[in-house]
Amino acid sequence: ENKKLTHDTIVECGYGYVRPEQHIFPREYAEDLAERICASMRLPEDGICVLKLCNRTRGAGVVPVPAAELDGVLRKLLCPPENVEAWLREQPRGWFASVDIGCFEEQVRHWWSNECPVFIAEPLCASAATVLADGRAFDGTMRVGFSLHREHRERVPPGWLATPDGLVHAGDDVPAADRGPPGPDGMGR
């Protein structure tokens, strides 16, 4: 899965209104990166943005960040230790077992090991919970799955029909293979 390609396909198919706006940035730290991210989505000082890796699934590499903390988080995500082997040797024995699933430290490891050259920044989107008849509530924005497909129809000259047997002239039922393909004027031979 590539979150950027998926987003662009959804927008291209006319469903952009169901997606948060998305901004792409190089996966390299810069002193003004947090400022550029906030400006790109007009994020208020008390706003929250969501940073995502393009090619991870099931929440791996997804980090919601308050705008006020964005620069520090970007620095941690985008600046791995210069000597990773030395850093690993310095970690307590069994440190990997103490990292909680989904915690920030796990997300940092996803960012450090990611090969995609860009990342995504989106504004945090939330909806009002939908309350079911039994009183349970759920947030419909949590996970939306749908399939988009595009029909690729071959262009058929005027007066011809596409059928499972091939092109057929609209005036009769003789397949184009028997009649001959239409000429430049759209007529048969």
Q: Could you write out the DSSP letters of every residue in 144-173?
A: ---------PPP--TTEEEETTEEEETTS-
pLDDT tens across the length of the chain (189 residues): 677 777 777 788 777 777 788 899 999 999 999 999 999 999 999 999 999 988 776 667 788 999 999 999 999 999 988 888 898 888 888 777 777 676 788 888 888 888 888 999 999 877 777 888 898 887 765 455 555 555 556 677 777 777 878 788 777 655 555 555 555 555 554
- Written as six digits, the tokens of 145 are 């799955």
Q: Which amino acid type is present at position 178?
A: D
Decide: 48 and 67 in contact? Cβ < 8 Å.
yes
Give this prediction's pTM: 0.64
